[in-house]
Amino acid sequence: MTPLIRRFGRTRLVALILTVIPFLVLPVLGIAWLWQTDTFLYWLFGLFLFGGTGYLLHWLITQRDARKAAATGKSISESTQPNPNWPNAANAPWQVVSGLADSVTVAEWPLSDVDRLWLLGRNTLESVARVYHPNTKSPLLELTIPNALMIIERASREMRIEISEHIPLSHQLTLGDIVRVQRWQEFAGKLEAVYRVGRAVLDPSSMLFSEFRREMGNRIMGYGAERVQLWLLQEYVRKVGYYAIELYSGRLLLSNEDPTTTTTATSKKDHQLAQRVEALISAPEPLRIMVLGRNNAGKSSLINALFGEVKAPTDTLPSTTDEIIPYQLEREGGTAALIFDTPGCDNPQLSERALKTCVLSADLILWVTPANRPDRSDERQLLAKIRQWLLKQTQRRPPPILMVMTHIDQLRPIREWKPPFDLANPRSEKARNIVEAIAAVATDLNVQPESIIPVSLAEGREYNVDDTLWAAILANEAEAERVRFTRCMDVKKREENWALIRKQLLNAGRLLLEVPKIIKP
């Protein structure tokens, strides 16, 4: 089933076929034979039965579409969707584009009128530009020339692919063919009017059946064709709007390179620290997972548990880690990542500036908080500050934050340790105390209880790391990859800008050196 048929509607196509079946059979049987065999009334009954059934199906589909449009605000399904890698700041302009696409009509924007289509595309561009530049008199002019040419190139390429793959014989049709077909259609319409009048005079009964077929078929076919045209219009608006958002957000690279396919300079250095050898320049950009929390919360122990071996040094001293240390993680079936062990957030050796740099360079944050320490006011304030830092980064997606509650083995009764614990229906005192600790952490840190993952990292009592915690990390991997994409996009954009400036200055210098040769007599 091609997308074009899906737009027309499979059930509507069945309705159309049911409507025309009697008229396809009629030439075979013949009117005379029907009269001679006294089966004309049966055929007439079949005509109204099939035609009525087909029209009823069409009416039911129309009513269903109307109810769906009233409930969702959308008349037909969308093909072009927003880029999942876009930051949250792109939500507002995409809503504008979706609203504009849902408001277009075939009558107002006919596909045959090139000037109207150009105006529709311009209106879409201007609507997006005004969201990003609300105080500018001419928002359409707030773009660079190379980017303006690129959006035309990309949108045209995708529309070409859509049409060539979904419209039958479109790769063989010329613009002249379309014009000629339109002229023949107008001429045929005039001849058909004369034919219908003559037929009504010579054969009124046949005229009655023909007009019945014409009315039923045209209603169904016309409604389906209009849906296809409307879909093309809406796709046109969404395609233009899609690239307009990338264009006016200032995040459109002049190359088609995926920014995550190569390692950024920062991650190269971290790879070198993690491996103690030269990092591979051609390696893709890793996910950056920051492990944050207070002193002695169990951050280093958590990293060791994630690796399944001792990587990070652990002891009972309050300042074991006084620097940010990366560890390279490659888990089977998972994306390569760098996990960073950080000093305690209450460690004076970790400045606020260094912490902010950590947070803004992270694709995923594991916030570690101990279950057996109720004094969480400093953590709450720091988490609130981190959320503010992330909210101000409107052109970046905020990294997911997973709350890991450690030291559940030290909750009373300490000696009781019989995992697994049913926290949905806690029956043991240990399980009830774990549930109470989760509720306390949720209240103290202003998070949802279901987002807190209780774990034990004590030797011989490891619990909930390989299953629940890893499952949560993998569940957030897709979102973390989107965060990585926007982070790498910022880096590549800066690199591209400086590379272009260097190239432009170099070429300008060469041109200046050639000037004396040109003007020399």
Query: Each residue of 249-278: pLDDT tens digit?
Result: 766 676 766 777 778 878 877 777 776 544
Taking only the tens place, the pLDDT of each residue in 140-160 is 887 777 776 776 677 677 767
Tell whether the model's pLDDT for residue 29 goes beyond 70: no
Question: What are 260's two structure tokens?
Answer: 């995550």
| Residue 117 binned pLDDT confidence (cut-offs 50, 70, 90) | confident
Q: Are strands 337-341 and 364-370 parallel, antiparallel or unpaired?
A: unpaired
* pLDDT score of 509: 79
Tell whether the model's pLDDT for residue 56 goes beyond 90: no
Q: Are strands 325-329 and 337-341 parallel, antiparallel or unpaired?
A: antiparallel
Please tell me which residue, 293 or 331, carries the higher pLDDT value: 293
Please tell me which residue, 71 or 158, carries the higher pLDDT value: 158
The count of other CB atoms within 10 Å of the CB of residue 252 is 20
Please tell me which residue, 281 or 456, carries the higher pLDDT value: 456
Tell whether the model's pLDDT for residue 370 goes beyond 90: yes
Question: Highest-confidence range of 93-107, 192-206, 400-414, by mean pLDDT?
Answer: 400-414
* pLDDT score of 234: 87
For the segment 279-283, the average pLDDT, to the nearest whole number, is 50
Taking only the tens place, the pLDDT of each residue in 187-204 is 665 655 555 555 555 545
% of the chain surpassing 70 pLDDT = 66
Q: Which helix (DSSP H) or strand (DSSP E) does residue 366 occupy?
A: strand 364-370
Please tell me which residue, 97 or 509, carries the higher pLDDT value: 97
Q: How far apart are CA 396 and CA 57, in angstroms?
A: 48
| Residue 61 binned pLDDT confidence (cut-offs 50, 70, 90) | low
Radius of gyration of the chain (CA): 34
| Residue 319 binned pLDDT confidence (cut-offs 50, 70, 90) | very low
CB 19 within 8 A of CB 51: yes
Tell whether the model's pLDDT for residue 98 goes beyond 70: yes
Please tell me which residue, 149 or 131, carries the higher pLDDT value: 131
Q: Are strands 287-293 and 401-406 parallel, antiparallel or unpaired?
A: unpaired
| Residue 39 binned pLDDT confidence (cut-offs 50, 70, 90) | confident
Tell whether the model's pLDDT for residue 94 goes beyond 90: yes
What is the CATH class of 265-485? alpha beta
Rounded to 5°, angle at Cα 123 from 118 and 128: 130
Alpha-helical segments (H) within 203-263: 204-248
Specify whether the backbone of 309 is left (phi greater than 0), alpha (psi in -120 to 50) or beta: beta
Tell whether the model's pLDDT for residue 16 goes beyond 70: no
The count of other CB atoms within 10 Å of the CB of residue 479 is 16
* pLDDT score of 107: 85
* pLDDT score of 463: 94
Least trusted range by pLDDT, from 123-132, 188-197, 454-463: 188-197
Tell whether the model's pLDDT for residue 517 goes beyond 70: no
Contacts 24+ apart (CB under 8 A), 408-411: 408/371, 408/434, 408/437, 408/454, 408/455, 408/456, 408/463, 409/456, 409/458, 409/461, 409/463, 410/371, 410/372, 410/458, 411/371, 411/372, 411/437
Least trusted range by pLDDT, from 87-96, 100-109, 227-236, 378-387: 227-236
Q: What is the mean pLDDT of the chain?
A: 77
Q: Identify the DSSP state of 456.
A: B
* pLDDT score of 384: 93
| In the chain, domain spans | 3-248, 265-485
* pLDDT score of 5: 58
Tell whether the model's pLDDT for residue 464 goes beyond 70: yes
Specify whether the backbone of 317 is left (phi greater than 0), alpha (psi in -120 to 50) or beta: beta
* pLDDT score of 291: 95
Least trusted range by pLDDT, from 173-182, 326-335, 399-408, 437-446: 173-182
Q: Which are the contacts of 243, defined by CB distance < 8 A and separation ≥ 6?
A: 151, 154, 155, 252
Residue 329 three-state SS: strand
* pLDDT score of 425: 92
* pLDDT score of 95: 92
